[in-house]
Amino acid sequence: MTHRVAIVGAGPSGFYAADGLLRGQPGLRIDIIDRLPTPFGLVRAGVAPDHQGTKAVVRQFDRLLSQPDVRFIGNVEVGRDITWDDLRKAYDAVIVATGMVIDRPLGIPGEDLPHVWGSWKFIAWLNGHPDFRRGPDLGCVRSVAVIGNGNVALDVARVLAKSPEEMAKSDVVPEAGEAIAAAPLTDIYVIGRRGPEHASFTGNELAEMGRLARAVALADPGALAAEPPADGPTPERLRKAKNLEILRGFAANRAGAKPLSVHFLFSATPVAIRPGEIDLSTGTLPADLVVTCIGYRGEAFPQGEGIFSVGWARRGPTGTIPTNRADSHAVAQEVLGWLRDRDSKNGPYPLPSSIDVEGWRRIDQAEVAAGAAQGRPRVKVTDWQRLLRIARGE
C-alpha cells in the first residue's frame, strides 16, 4: 500500500517538501492542505504586489499540483476543521508548513491605537488576503512611520511611495491602490533602532527606493560615517557595505526634489505612539500612520512521532523563498527515512468539505480574466464566500 503524507500549509516550504518527497519516492500520495481556498502562502499574500518577478515562483509550485498523486485540499484549517490527531491517524506522516505570521508587538505605549498596523495585516490587505479586507483609513495620512530595517519595511515604504502608474502592472487590490493614490502623503520615515551598518535590507530592494517617480529617498550624512562590521561572513559584509554606499547616495539627494520624501533614520528607538505622532529616542516625528515591520511569531503546533515541520514554522520567520528549498528537501529525506520499513496505516480519511485544485484553477482564471481587462496580472477575489462560490463553479 502506497504511503500517504499530509503537508499542512500550501506555502513555499510545503511545496518544496512535496517536491523533495517526490524526488525521493515518485508515486507517494501527497495531500497539501491549506486553510485558504487558494495556495502559495506568503508568495500570494506577503510578497509585495509590485514584485511580480518574485511571485513568478508559483509556476514551479503549480506544476506540482498537476501531478496525479498530489492533491490540493483548500479551505480546511487543521486544528479547526479537523484535529491534528485525526490527521495523524489518517496519514503515515504529517509535515507542518504553516508559517509564522502573527505581528510581533513593539512593547511601547500607544501601540494599540487604531492607526498602528503590523506589517502582516497591512501587506495582507494590499495583497487581498480574505481575512484582511479592511485597511487603514489613509484619507488624512500625510506622514507615515515605518518601523524596522528589513526588506518588509522597504516593501511597505515603497508601495506607499509609488505612483499609480508605477503600481499599474501590480496586483495590489484596487481599493488599496486607490486609497494610497488618494492619500495626501508627503513624508515616509523608515526607522531603524540600530546604525545603518546593521540594517538587513538587501541591495536591490534598497536601491529601488532611489528610483521612485514621485518620491525622493533621503538620509542624514552624519549617520552614515559607520563602516560595515569587520566580523561576519564576507557576503554579509559586502551586503552591508553596499547598503552604506546606496544610503550615501540618498544623503546626496535634495530634500523637496519630489512631492514625497522617504527619510531613512537610524539609531532611533520608538518610545511611545500618540495620535498623529511618534516619540523616538532621538525626538518626536509626525506620524498619522505607523506600520511596524519587526518580525513575526507563530502558533504552536503538536510535536510527536510522525510529525515533521518545515519552513518558517520550523526555523522561525527568517529566510527568503529559496531558503525554504534546501530546508524542506532535507526534511523530506527525514520523512522518507521514517516511512521506510513502515506499513501504510491506510487509516480512515476524515477530511471535511474542501476546495480541490480544479476549484483553485477556477479562482485563478477568474482573477486573471479580471486583471486582463485592466492590463494587470490579476485582480484578486478577496471575499471568502465569493472565493468559495467561484471555486465550486456556482
Ligand X SMILES: Cc1cc2nc3c(=O)[nH]c(=O)nc-3n(C[C@H](O)[C@H](O)[C@H](O)COP(=O)(O)OP(=O)(O)OC[C@H]3O[C@@H](n4cnc5c(N)ncnc54)[C@H](O)[C@@H]3O)c2cc1C
Which residues would be at the binding site for ligand X (CB under 6 A)?
Answer: 8-14, 33-36, 41-42, 46-47, 51, 54, 77-79, 97-99, 101, 119, 123, 152, 155, 311-313, 319-321, 324
Residue 6 · residue 83 · CB < 8 Å: no
What are the Cα distances from residue 25, in Å, to 18, 29, 335?
A: 10, 10, 11
What are the Cα distances from residue 120, in Å, to 219, 272, 335?
A: 26, 21, 31
Residue 184 · residue 142 · CB < 8 Å: yes
Residue 291 · residue 117 · CB < 8 Å: yes
Q: Quick one: DSSP state of residue 130?
A: T
Residue 370 · residue 356 · CB < 8 Å: no
Least distance in Å: CB of 383 to ligand X? Answer: 17
C-beta of 321 vs 381, nearer to ligand X: 321
C-beta of 84 vs 226, nearer to ligand X: 84
Least distance in Å: CB of 293 to ligand X? Answer: 8
Q: What is the DSSP string of 59-101?
A: HHHHHHHTSTTEEEEBS--BTTTB-HHHHHHHSSEEEE-----
DSSP-assigned beta bridge partners for residue 71: 31
C-beta of 197 vs 327, nearer to ligand X: 327
C-beta of 279 vs 364, nearer to ligand X: 364
Distance of alpha carbon 155 from alpha carbon 209, whole angstroms:
10
Least distance in Å: CB of 163 to ligand X? Answer: 21
Least distance in Å: CB of 90 to ligand X? Answer: 15
Sheet of 307-309, strands arranged across? 70-73, 29-33, 4-8, 93-96, 307-309
C-beta of 314 vs 376, nearer to ligand X: 314
C-beta of 98 vs 143, nearer to ligand X: 98
C-beta of 148 vs 196, nearer to ligand X: 148
Cα pseudo-dihedral 305, 310, 34, 304, rounded to 10: 10
C-beta of 34 vs 187, nearer to ligand X: 34
Least distance in Å: CB of 341 to ligand X? Answer: 29
Least distance in Å: CB of 340 to ligand X? Answer: 25
Q: What is the CA radius of gyration of the chain?
A: 22
C-beta of 196 vs 311, nearer to ligand X: 311
Least distance in Å: CB of 5 to ligand X? Answer: 15
C-beta of 149 vs 261, nearer to ligand X: 149
Least distance in Å: CB of 191 to ligand X? Answer: 17
Sign of the dihedral through C-alpha 269, 137, 298, 363: negative
Least distance in Å: CB of 34 to ligand X? Answer: 4
Least distance in Å: CB of 51 to ligand X? Answer: 5
Q: Which residues contact 76 (CB under 8 A, 6 or more apart)?
A: 33, 34, 35, 82, 351, 352, 354
Distance of alpha carbon 227 from alpha carbon 196, whole angstroms:
9
Secondary structure element (H or E) that encloses residue 138, with its range: none
